[in-house]
Structure 1
Amino acid sequence: MKNVIVLIETSTGWGSGMVRGVGTYLDECGEPWNVFLEPRGKFEPLRLPKGWDGDGVIARVNNAELAEEILAAGLPCVNVSWYEYGKGVIARCTLDEEESGRLAAKYYLHRKYSHFAYCGSHWRTNYDDLFGQAYAQYLKSAGYECHTYLSTGIDRNEPWIDQIRTLAGWLKTLPTPCAILAIDTQTSRQLIEAAKYVGLGVPDAIAVLAGEYDELASGITRPKLSMLDNAAQSVGYQAAALLDRIMHGQADGSELVTISPTNVISEQSTDWTVLPDDRLVAALRFVRDNFHRPIQVADLAEQAGTSRRLLEQLFDRYLDVSPSKQITIVRLDMAKQLLDRSVLPIAEIASRCGFDSPEVMSRAFRRELNMSPSDYRRSRRSS
């Protein structure tokens, strides 16, 4: 039995999702591991425990000292961080940060924003932020400027209220309504507090999208926080699979596995506020809040206070999509999240997402993704 240590923060949705992904792999691979895991904070310095003698490591290698310890110990390791410490000699399995940045840009463009900004982390040192760069570059290719917050403006050791004031000063310089992408949930929540501090409405003046998934952080934030689904369980699952191959001599430290992000989980912090017609906004909010119910286009028209024909014209004019297609898009997005983050049966997922039957959901998957729900789940777990 292999002895493996998991050095990942357990205080965030991202970290706990990764651990669940490792557990799912162990359920399926047939070879048990003894896993050493301790509670960890997000900014806690991660180190190998003194005297630990094991067979492999799955770690968020976010500092040079940890990388040096792993290399000195000669341990097979998979780094799940966006940091590249030990590049070429420590294998990596992580979310595709550039594709994630592009996905966030597409999301905001679909919502018809024309002003954009990016706020990176003011607590990450020696980090080449490809995530924010890809977001800005995609917007530039679409003809839009992206205002970027310089992370040197905040000292992590400053009092909380001073950090909020610093961010608030930056927010006041932005054109509105502005769509902001933040690198993580903590920065996103600070942005929302900073907007409240200077009287900027969220999402009316400032829309905020977090670059990571943390259900707890979103649920406690008002308005609720929209998040990029960063496929934590898929990363954990595939990191465990990669480490298993390395420990059996089937791969080495040069391996790099990147996982595509799933989609964006929409909440109130990025609501449809920039669309020019309130009837369209009302219909879209109704879909967001009721996709799990057996709703139809007639229900959307009733909520919008207009005729079905006019509603279809509004969708076509501003979104290039039909109302029925929008319902399917939202249901598919939720189904993909559940396939990626849970072990729920296909039938249960179909029911939770508002599909009439598993067969109806399967047809939608094949039509939109050219694969079945089961194939999609397997594709997210296979390397």
Structure 2
Amino acid sequence: MNEIRNVAVLVEQSNSYARDLLAGVLRFVRQHAWSVYIPEHDPSLLNQTWIRDWNGDGMIARVEADWLAREIRQSDVPLVDLSGSGRVPGVPAVISDNRAIGELGARYFLERGFKTLGFITDPKFKWSRDRCDAFQQVCDESGIDCHVYESFHVFDKGYSWGQEQAKLEEWAEGLPNPTGVMACHDIKAKKLIDACHSRGIAVPEQISVLGVDNEETLCELSNPPISSIAQDARTAGYQAANALERLMNGEKLGPTKIFVKPLGVETRLSTDVFAIEDADVASALKYIRMQARNGINAADVIAFTGKPRKQIESRFKKIVGRTPHQEILKTRMEFAMRLLQESDFPIHEIARRVGYEHVTYFAVAFKRFTGQSPSEHRELTQP
């Protein structure tokens, strides 16, 4: 019988990203002999010397407090860091690919035709700065104006919620219309929407708002509901547990960094608009987004616009960079990839949900689009 290992998982549990990290760890634990300690409260509130008295075998932690980093450095406990802060040098880290998150947000808005973009960052955190830098880089490469708002953190000296919100309102009011704004996480996105309401700015018509983390309850409580980039926290949790198991088995991983890419964008009403001057193309795009999973084809899109086929196809290709048929396929395949990553639906059910009557046709189309069969994609992307 394998020896049971005592592992501490120090992750603050107040948001869905953290809880999904734990779910990924749990999936690994079900396959291994671990006894897991999870603190009842925020790890930052723990007694700062508890690690010295803890007789454990390994630790997974988001090391974002100096005292925790100091105590871990003084111990011999194997660690996998989930923060990427670098406070504990020389240890493996499993972290979100924050540059990929920033790039995804910028390209999401560019595909919707925006010529002016903005980003709300929290410069106190490296992950936020990385997202912002990548977002700005895409804007620079595309010749797009980018407006950055550097927010204050609640723990900053002299922080005032009222003053911070007033500054955000002033910044939002000064943006050109329309502007697509990405916030570094969903709470900042909600604050921007509140600021827009306060100044009479229409969302998404004047400012389109995108968050990160896909915190479903928070996103749905907003008016309008917030579109958000979904992170793959379950994979991150699983990968962290796997790395810790290897460390406890005596492997030397060193300062390895494992980057976990985002799953995609969950579109809600806060970005349900296309900043495209051609009303027919904008209408066609919206129709495709709403109906692609219902088995429509290019002829249906043309009929919806009521314009001659060659005319609308030419205008669509010029503005979007793809034909209506290619856009339908892209929309279907991106949704299929999300279902393969996040759900346990059988392949034939996923085929039905993205608009294919026959699973064989779906499998052929999916492989042509991704270079992988649906089963191969699921095996490579699910922890």
TM-score (norm: length of structure 1)? 0.88
Task: Determine the structure 1 residue equivalent to 2:74.
Answer: 72
CA displacement at 1:199 relative to structure 2: 1.0
- Equivalence for 1:11: 14
Give structure 2 stretches of 5+ with no counterpart. none
Q: CA RMSD in A?
A: 2.6
Q: Deviations over 1:131-178 (max 9, x none)?
A: 111111221122223211122487768565543222101112222211
Equivalent residue letter for 1:221: S
The CA distance in 1 between the partners of 2:127 and 2:329, in whole Å, is: 38
For 1:9-158, what aligned pairs fall within 5 Å after superposition? Answer: 9-27=12-30, 30-38=31-39, 45=44, 47=46, 50=50, 51-87=53-89, 89-121=90-122, 124=124, 129-152=129-152
Please name the residue that 1:219 is paired with.
Answer: 220
d(CA) in 2 for partners of 1:64 and 1:240? 23
Contact 2:128 2:184 in 1 (8 A): no
Task: Please give the alpha-carbon distance, in whole angstroms, between the structure 1 residues aligned to 2:199 and 2:189.
Answer: 16
Distance 1:48 1:379 in 2: 40
- Are residues 152 and 31 of structure 1, via their aligned partners in 2, closer, same or farther at CA, if it must alter by over 3 Å? closer
Is 1:2 paired with 2:1? no
Q: Larger deviation: 165-174 or 249-258?
A: 249-258
Quote the offset at 1:127 in angstroms. 6.7
For residues 357 and 215 of structure 1, do their structure 2 counterparts lie closer, same or farther at Cα, with a shift above 3 Å needed?
farther
Q: 2:285 aligns to what SS in structure 1?
A: helix
State the one-letter code of the partner of 2:148: T
8 Å contact kept, 1:153–1:166: no
Which whole-Å CA distance do the structure 2 matches of 1:126 and 1:289 have between them?
Answer: 36
Equivalent residue for 1:289? 290
Alignment partner, residue 236 of structure 1:
237
One-letter amino acid of the counterpart of residue 259, structure 1 = V
What whole-Å deviation, never above 9, does each CA across 1:80-127 have from its counterpart, x for those lacking one?
A: 22422213x2210011111221222222222221111111127x4577
> SS of 1:25's equivalent?
helix
State how far apart, in whole Å, the 2-side matches of 1:127 and 1:229 are.
Answer: 15
Which segment is superposed worse, 241-250 or 277-286? 277-286
- Residue identity in the other structure for 1:99: A
Report the residue type matching 1:139 in the other structure. C
User: Identity of counterpart residues, as a percentage?
Assistant: 28
Amino acid at match of 1:247: M
Residue matched to 1:279: 280
Q: Secondary structure at the match of 2:293?
A: coil
Cα distance in 1 for residues equivalent to 2:164 and 2:372: 47
**SS of the residue aligned with 1:6?**
strand
2:20 and 2:193 map into 1 onto residues whose CA distance is 25
Q: Please, which runs of 5 or more residues in structure 1 have no aligned partner?
A: none
**TM-score normalised by structure 2 residue count:** 0.88
Structure 2 CA distance for partners of 1:366 and 1:230, relative to 1, 3 Å: same
